[in-house]
Amino acid sequence: MGTIGDIRTRFEIAMNEAKKVVWKETMKKAYFNLYSEGNGGRWINPSGTGEIMRAYFIGDDTEEEIEKFLELNGVKAEYYGGYLKTSNASGSFDSWEITMNTNCNWFGKTLKSGETYYIINARKTSGDTVAAIGDKDTTPNKLEITDIQYPTKKQAIDFTKQSIKAKINNQDCAAFMNELIDVVNNFKTTTVGEAKDLANTDTSYTIKHDFSKYTDVIDRVSVLNIAKDFGEVLGGILMFNLTDKHGAGLLFPEASNEAVVDFRFDKMDVSSKAGKKGATPSASGFLIKLNDAIKMKDWKLNKKEANFIKNFSKVILAKQSEASNTRYCKGTRGSGTFSSTVTLLNNFKIKSWNYWASQSRMPTQNIGRDDIIHSFVQLKKDKKLHATLNSFSKMVGGLKGNSTEKSAAGAKMTAKFLSTKNEKEAVKVLDEILKIDKTSIYDVLVGTVIYGSTKELVPLLNKEFGETMSGLINMAFSAKQLYLDMNIKKGSLIFTMKSMKTSEFEIKGLNGVDSWVRKGLGISMK
C-alpha cells in the first residue's frame, strides 16, 4: 500500500506524461490537416531535447513553410525575432532553431522566453523525388513490433505484416516489404541445432529472387532505407530458418533500451547492419555496453585495459564541454563530437592539429567551433591561408568531402574550397562562406581542421588501443553481427553473420570535411 503522498506523486507523473503526449498528438493533427499522407506528408514524433517538431515539409521554400506553420499555430514572428536560424540539431536532416523572447503556447506546451527550440525537416530526396520511405520508417520500433516475444516464425511474420498494412501508406513499398518477408520465409538451407551453435561461426547465406518489378516504382532512397532498417526484421525471421530447435524465439528490444543489439533470438544477441560492411556504429554505443559489462561482472582490468578506459572510453562518453559560440555559430548547442575529438587531438599531441594552431594562432584548449572558424580569418589577415591549407592537407594525406547528398550546399562548398589554387582564390571562397553565415556551411571550415587532424589521430588510436579494445569487446559481447547486402537489380539478398566473440575491431575516423558533425568516431568490426 502506498501513502497518499506516493499516490499524489504517481498521479502528477502520470498527468505530466499525458500532457507530453497530448501536445504532440494535437500538433500531429494540425500538420496532417495541411500535409496529408496522400500528398507526401510524413510525421515523426519530436524526441530530442528542445525539439518541437520533426516532419516533412514539401514545398520549394522550406523555411517559409515552417514559418507559416508556426504563425498558423500561435507562434508569431515577433515572438522569436522573425526568422529561422540554421542549426545542427540533426546530423542527417536540415534543422533550424528559434529562441523565444516571450512565453508562448504551442499546442498546450509552453515555449519559454529565453529558451531555444529546434525544428527538423525529416525529408530526403532521390533526385527530385521525395523518398516514399524515410530514415527509420521501417525499424521494429517504428512498426511497433518491439518488446514482444515471438516464439514461432508464423507469429513474427503475421504480426509484422499486420503492422506493414497499418503503418506503410505507399502500396508499392508495402508490397515490396511483404515480398521480402515471403522470400526469407521460404529460404531453405542447412540448419544447426540451437542458436548458440551459431555463436562462434562465420557464415553467409545468399537468397535469389526476381525483384525487378520494383526497380522503376520505388525510389532509390526508399530501397536503401528499407535495406538498412527493415533488414533487422528480415534477419530475425531468417534465424528461424537456420535452427532446428527454438526456445523463447525472437524479440526486438525497444531501441532506446539496447545499445548495439538490434534483436535477440533464443537469448543470442544480434546486431544488424546494411551492406557488406554496414555503417560504422558510433563508438559510444559499444563503449556504453562495454562499461556496463565491466561493472556488472566486476572485471579487474589490467594496465592496458585501464589505460583504454581512461584515455579513450571516458573521453568519448564525457559530457560535451565545447566553449560557447557567440560569433559565428551563434546559439548552437555544444557538439559532443567536437569536444571529445579536440580532447583526443590534444592528449595525443597530433602534429597536424598543432601545426594548424601555430600557423593560425588558434588556441587548442577550452575552445569552440568559433575558434576554428576564426583561425581561417586570421590566416587570411596574415596572407597565408592557401599556403597553410595546402601544407596541412599534405600532412594528413589529403582532404575530401563525404556528403551523401551530392547536391548539398556543404558538399559544393567543400569542393570549391579545397580546389583553390592560390591565396586569392582561397580568400574569395572564405569570404563567400562568411557571407553565407550558416552553421551548416561553417561546418566545412571546422571539418577541414577536425576531420583532417583525425586522419592522423585514428591510426595512433588503433596502434595504442586496437588489440586491447578487441579483447574487451570479445569478452563483453556474445552478439552476432548480421549484414544484409540487398541488390534488387541483381535479385539478391546476401546475409553474412560474424561473431563478436572472435572478431577484431578498430576505431574508425570521422566523415569527410562537409559531414564530420553527423557522427563521431566509430568502432567497427574488421
Residue (of 92, 496, 91, 492) closest to 271 by Cα position: 496
Domain boundaries, the chain: 4-123, 140-274, 295-466
Report which secondary-structure segment, H or E, holds 246: none
Residue (of 496, 469, 498) closest to 484 by Cα position: 496
> Does the structure show a pLDDT above 70 at 489?
yes
Mean pLDDT of 185-205: 80
> Does the structure show a pLDDT above 50 at 401?
yes
What pLDDT is attached to residue 406? 45
Least confident of 98-107, 328-337, 371-380: 328-337
Cβ neighbors of 490 (< 8 A, separation 6 or more) are none
Is-contact 207 184, C-beta < 8 A? yes
Tell me how far apart the alpha carbons of residues 202 and 40 are, in angstroms, rounded to a whole number.
Answer: 42
Query: Helix, strand, or coil here: 313?
Result: helix
Query: Helix, strand, or coil here: 465?
Result: helix
Tell me how far apart the alpha carbons of residues 123 and 130 are, in angstroms, rounded to a whole number.
Answer: 7
What pLDDT is attached to residue 176? 96
pLDDT per position as a tens digit, 366-395: 999 999 999 999 999 999 999 999 999 999
Tell me how far apart the alpha carbons of residues 206 and 188 are, in angstroms, rounded to a whole number.
Answer: 10
What pLDDT is attached to residue 332? 78
Number of C-beta neighbours around residue 476 at 10 A: 21
Average pLDDT, the chain: 84
> Does the structure show a pLDDT above 50 at 35?
yes
Report which secondary-structure segment, H or E, holds 503: none
pLDDT per position as a tens digit, 411-431: 788 889 999 999 999 999 999
Is-contact 98 117, C-beta < 8 A? yes
Tell me how far apart the alpha carbons of residues 99 and 114 are, in angstroms, rounded to a whole number.
Answer: 6
Is-contact 150 130, C-beta < 8 A? no
> Does the structure show a pLDDT above 80 at 148?
yes
Tell me how far apart the alpha carbons of residues 327 and 467 are, in angstroms, rounded to a whole number.
Answer: 42
Mean pLDDT of 334-349: 94
> Quick one: pLDDT band at residue 4, thresholds 50, 70, 90?
very low
Tell me how far apart the alpha carbons of residues 7 and 27 are, in angstroms, rounded to a whole number.
Answer: 31
Tell me how far apart the alpha carbons of residues 145 and 301 are, in angstroms, rounded to a whole number.
Answer: 39
Tell me how far apart the alpha carbons of residues 272 and 286 are, in angstroms, rounded to a whole number.
Answer: 14
Tell me how far apart the alpha carbons of residues 342 and 518 are, in angstroms, rounded to a whole number.
Answer: 16
Q: Which residue has the higher pLDDT, 211 or 12?
A: 211
